[in-house]
Structures are given as structure tokens and as C-alpha cells.
Structure 1
Amino acid sequence: MNPKISRSIEEMFGIQACGNALFYAHPDGLRFELSEGGEPLEQVLTALRKASLICEDLFDAVDSITVCLWRFAGNDKFALRKVLRELKNVGIAIPEEREIWFAPVPFEDRFDESIEEWRISVAFQLPITKLQSLFWCAFTVDFPSLHPNPRCDVYIFNFKDRILVHPYDDRGMDIIGPNKDFLRKLYVKHNSLLLDYDRARMSKSFE
């Protein structure tokens, strides 16, 4: 167990760091468009290529990354075992030094309002060489025909530069954090990959 991981995440990125639609929940964020249509595998590979290009600038000076994975577990507290099996198949072994916690799903978000439901989170560190494996996990989440597929959300942290990356599925990736100067550099260099729908919002922040 390493309770310092969740504490560090909350202190730097806020209590809702591992949530949905981070771009809209945090000021001065970036949202990138990734896949371009086609068959599932084609979409995933396109998303992998673009995300890897962007993140070369995010993690070029680090040897390891901090990762938080979370998955909706319903009322099955043993759902993490399924995630671990699929992660192993994609080449990711969660180290012994990790932090695991359960959180109840709010009543309004439950699939079955008559029972208590849970989500499981696990945080740990990995070598930077596992970055593309993490992207694969994120981009296959909506494609049950593709395997391995842990079906979990992926959050990747660069604490050194105070940046959080959330590849939310094959369609896109949010990048947030309190380091606005760093984000501005990404905005300029990878401007062509920004999601056009939210471009006006990003322009107000970085131009």
C-alpha cells in the first residue's frame, strides 16, 4: 500500500482528478482528437499513434510514470481480479507497492438503484516503456471485440511537470494541470490535433 499516491493526486489536481470530462471540469486544459473512423482496430491504432506523438513531449525527461486505473465494479468487489488478468495480458504487472481503494457509486449514477454499487481504483508506478500499453487499455475500452481489454479508465500523471493525462477512449485525450506554461507549449506544438469543437475555449486560455 502507498497512501501517498492518492494524497499527491488530490493535492496537485483536486479531489475530482480521476473523473470524467476533465477538460470541462478544470480551467486551462487541452482536449485532443484522436481516432478518425474506420474499423475498431484501425481506430485504436490511429489513436495510439497520435497520443504517443503528443506524449513524447510530456514524458521525455522521466523514467517512470504514476498511473491510476479505475473500473466500475457494480456490487462485485472482486472485479479487480478481472482487470489484473487483462493487464497481465497487455504486459502490465501491477507492482506490490500500490494503493487500492473502493468508493461507492453515487445513487444517481448507479445502474441498479436498488443495490449499492462500487468503483475500484488502483494507483502505482510503471516504467515509461509501458506508456503505449496503457494507451491500448484506454483506447480499447469501447471495443469488446478487441483483446486484451481491461475495460478500465486510465489516468497518467507526471508529477514533476504537474500534468495529468486522461486518454478517455479512442476518440480523444484530455490533458490538464496547474502548469499552464507547459500546457501552452503543447497547445502550440500540437495545435493541429486539438478537438475543433472545443478550440475556441482553448484559444481563450492559451492565446
Structure 2
Amino acid sequence: MLKELMEEELKLMGLNSLEHPIFYNCQYGIRFEIGVGNVYNKDMTPRKEYVESALSRAMTIYNNGIKSPTLLMWEVYPQGEEDKSDFEILFSKKIISILPQEEFSQDIDIDNEVIKRTQLYWDLKKSNIPMNKVFREIIIGDLGGSEDFISSIYLFDVENHVMLHLYDDRGLDIVAYDKNKLIPIYQKLNTWILDYDRKQIDKIFFV
């Protein structure tokens, strides 16, 4: 049910898969800069101010862009003796002790190597997942946290056909079936748009 729902949303947005970067593969989207300023202290530990600022931006975009949270999908790649239960334990430890409502595993071919991919699904209408904790784990994933959270969690608002993908501490993609759903955050949070992609994004909303 949740897997099929996600696949329907991807098709609506013109996406055949979750190939990265999401922004470049979708007709209507915005790429935001999340992390700004110096990342590390002199002792190479991540600056608290950097992490908190990135988290604040991510939560602001989420609260303004995802009006009706529907599902969360976490895509993981078990290695060796790992299986989905290891990731469920990690999710419980770092975020909240709520098991996914659905899971789907398959073997896929990447560069002539067969690896296992598992997708874990949470119904956000039934599960109260604390997004601030989800985003924090993604943000600190490259800064000494768990790398399993980096660029692997996708959030969907099925009612409005919007998807949000915080890929790491640097940035966040939000895409939609209808560009009108993104106009409010394009206008409200315009100064946070990633400068590298600003011209392309401006063209989307000025047409």
C-alpha cells in the first residue's frame, strides 16, 4: 500500500526512480542551501551553531512545504550479516521506537555488482515521527553520525503531491507535481535557494 502510493507519486512527478539528485530529475522543484558558515571547530568537531542552523532551515522548509505529511521512506543497503532489523534498531535508538508499517527488499545491479536494497515505510498518518530528530540524524551523518541516514530518507505529502529530500547537511530538494504548490516557499524562503541553481529555479517560477 505505502510502496504503491509512493510509486504513484513518483510517476505523477515524472520520476521513474529515486535517482539523485532529485531536483535535476523533476520538472518542478527547488534546491535549498541548508548548511551555512563554518562546519567545524578548531578541534574538527562540528560546530553546534552550524548543526542547529541547518536543522532550523530544514524544519522551516518542511513545515512550510509539507502541509499534509503522508509517508516516510528510508532506503538502506544491508551489508554482510545486516538485515532490516539492524536498521529498525538504529531508527529506534536514534529517532523513535516505532516499527515501519511496510518493508520491501530486492536485489539490484549496481556497476555489475548485485546488492540488496531495502525500503522501510512509515505511515505518517498513524505514526508520530519527530522530524526534528530525523533531520538532525541526516545533518550529522557526514559529521560523525550514522552514514546510513545520509541521502536516504524521503518524505511525501500525497494530498498535495510534494516530496522532500534532505540529502545531507548541505542541502535539501523539494519537488512537486504542480509548481503552484511550491510558489509560497519559493517566495517566502527565496534567500535560502542554492545560488548554483538559482537561475534554473527562477526560470521555473517566472514562466
| TM-score (normalised: structure 2) | 0.81
Q: CA deviation at 1:193?
A: 0.6
Match of 2:199 in 1: 200
Aligned length: 196
For structure 2, which runs of at least 5 residues remain unmatched after alignment?
41-45
Given that 2:28 and 2:178 are in contact with CA atoms closer than 8 Å, whether structure 1 keeps it comes out as no
Identical positions, percent: 22
Given that 1:65 and 1:157 are in contact with CA atoms closer than 8 Å, whether structure 2 keeps it comes out as yes
Match of 1:20 in 2: 20
- Deviations along 1:123-149, one digit per CA (max 9) or x if unpaired, are 221345521122123222212x236x6
Q: Alpha carbons of 1:80 and 1:169: their partners in 2 closer, same or farther (altered >3 Å)?
A: same
Distance (Å, rounded) in 2 between the aligned partners of 1:21 and 1:132: 23
Distance (Å, rounded) in 2 between the aligned partners of 1:96 and 1:154: 13
Q: CA deviation at 1:187?
A: 0.7
Distance (Å, rounded) in 2 between the aligned partners of 1:123 and 1:7: 12
Distance (Å, rounded) in 1 between the aligned partners of 2:13 and 2:197: 21
For structure 1, which runs of at least 5 residues remain unmatched after alignment?
108-112
Q: CA deviation at 1:59?
A: 3.3
Q: Alpha carbons of 1:103 and 1:67: their partners in 2 closer, same or farther (altered >3 Å)?
A: farther
Q: Which amino acid aligns with 1:85?
A: I
Match of 1:106 in 2: 110
Secondary structure (helix, strand or coil) at the match of 1:31 reads strand
Match of 1:110 in 2: none
The answer to whether 1:134 aligns with 2:114 is no
Q: CA deviation at 1:89?
A: 1.3
Q: 1:91 aligns with which of 70, 84, 95?
A: 95
Q: Which amino acid aligns with 2:168?
A: D
| TM-score (normalised: structure 1) | 0.81
RMSD: 2.5
Distance (Å, rounded) in 2 between the aligned partners of 1:133 and 1:105: 32
1:179-190 → structure 2 map (5 Å cutoff):
179-190=178-189
Q: Which amino acid aligns with 2:180?
A: D
- Deviations along 1:27-63, one digit per CA (max 9) or x if unpaired, are 2210000112323253332211101112221234x3x
